[in-house]
């Protein structure tokens, strides 16, 4: 289930994942703006939701769009426990941060998005190993944190991974800088499968801004319209 073929087909530009959602209206705003994925956090976080709250959110989002694709975020939760919640809620995939063995990931019977904190080029082998299982999400490293850093990493590290398979880029993205991020990828003739944004489209902690979501999407679309020669993997 973790194979690339099990994921949504590429679009003409990167798919967008709006993560850290805690409110029904924010998810609906993201869907209306054209987001491909919605993210809910089950790990320890200011944006954490309980399974019960996630069920309420997903019911509202499915009423708006029955085909909504929701990704749950976990940190070092045993694969078996993750799988039960994926099945219970009907999550599209599980975004896994923290410590997992390759054997455990290969044994999973649900879609996995392996999240990796990136320091620099020394992470290339680790990224390649994770890509043998499926898509990866790359985020900036910060001591003691498993994502949600609000920082960028050196995106040139992601280019070899993008050429191998599906890559989500996270960390510090917002409506102001995402065009320049895409420009840098384009200059290296690479474009990620998806962009992941959370705090960059918030007006307060855990409260998304409809205007910022729309502005983010528009910046991405402007970036792609100026670079039609760049194709996704």
Tens of pLDDT, residue by residue over 206-229, are 999 999 999 999 998 886 655 545
For residue 137, is it within any domain?
Answer: yes
For residue 230, is it within any domain?
Answer: no
Share of the chain above pLDDT 70, in %: 89
For residue 231, is it within any domain?
Answer: no
Q: What is the DSSP string of 132-187?
A: TTS-EEEEE--TT-SS-------GGGGHHHHHHS-EEE-SS--TTTHHHHHHHHHH
Whether the predicted pLDDT of 130 surpasses 70: yes
What domain count does the chain have?
1
Q: What pLDDT does 6 receive?
A: 75
* This prediction's pTM: 0.92
Q: What pLDDT does 97 receive?
A: 96
For residue 139, is it within any domain?
Answer: yes
Task: Please choose, from the candidates 84, 65, 66, the residue with its C-alpha nearest in 3D space to the C-alpha of residue 74.
Answer: 84
CATH number of the domain to which 154 belongs: 3.20.20.70
**Contact yes or no for 19/49 (Cβ under 8 A):** no
Whether the predicted pLDDT of 63 surpasses 80: yes
Give the model confidence (pLDDT) of 158-185 as tens digits. Answer: 999 999 999 999 999 999 999 999 888 8
Domain that holds residue 208: 4-225
Contacts of 32 (CB under 8 A, 6+ apart): none
For residue 185, is it within any domain?
Answer: yes
For residue 233, is it within any domain?
Answer: no
Residue 71's pLDDT band (boundaries 50, 70, 90)? very high
Share of the chain above pLDDT 90, in %: 77
């Amino acid at each position: 289930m973790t194979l690339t073929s099990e994921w949504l087909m590429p679009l003409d530009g990167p798919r967008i994942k709006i993560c850290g959602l805690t409110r029904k209206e924010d998810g609906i705003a993201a869907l209306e703006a054209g987001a491909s994925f919605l993210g809910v956090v089950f790990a320890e976080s200011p944006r954490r939701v309980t399974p019960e709250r996630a069920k309420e959110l997903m019911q509202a989002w499915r009423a708006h769009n029955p085909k909504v694709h929701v990704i749950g975020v976990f940190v070092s939760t045993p694969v078996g426990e993750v799988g039960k919640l994926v099945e219970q809620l009907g999550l599209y995939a599980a975004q896994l941060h923290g410590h997992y063995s390759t054997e455990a990931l290969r044994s999973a019977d649900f879609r996995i998005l392996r999240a990796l904190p990136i320091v620099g080029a020394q992470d290339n082998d680790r990224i390649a190993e994770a890509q043998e299982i499926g898509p990866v999400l790359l985020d900036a490293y910060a001591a003691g944190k498993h994502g949600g850093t609000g920082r960028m990493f050196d995106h040139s590290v992601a280019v070899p991974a993008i050429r191998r398979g599906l890559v989500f880029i996270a960390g510090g993205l917002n409506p102001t800088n995402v065009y320049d991020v895409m420009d840098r990828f384009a200059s290296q003739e690479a474009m990620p499968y998806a962009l992941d944004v959370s705090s960059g489209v918030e007006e307060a902690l855990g409260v998304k801004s409809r205007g910022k979501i729309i502005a983010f999407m528009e910046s991405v679309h402007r970036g792609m319209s100026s670079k039609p020669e760049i194709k996704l993997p």
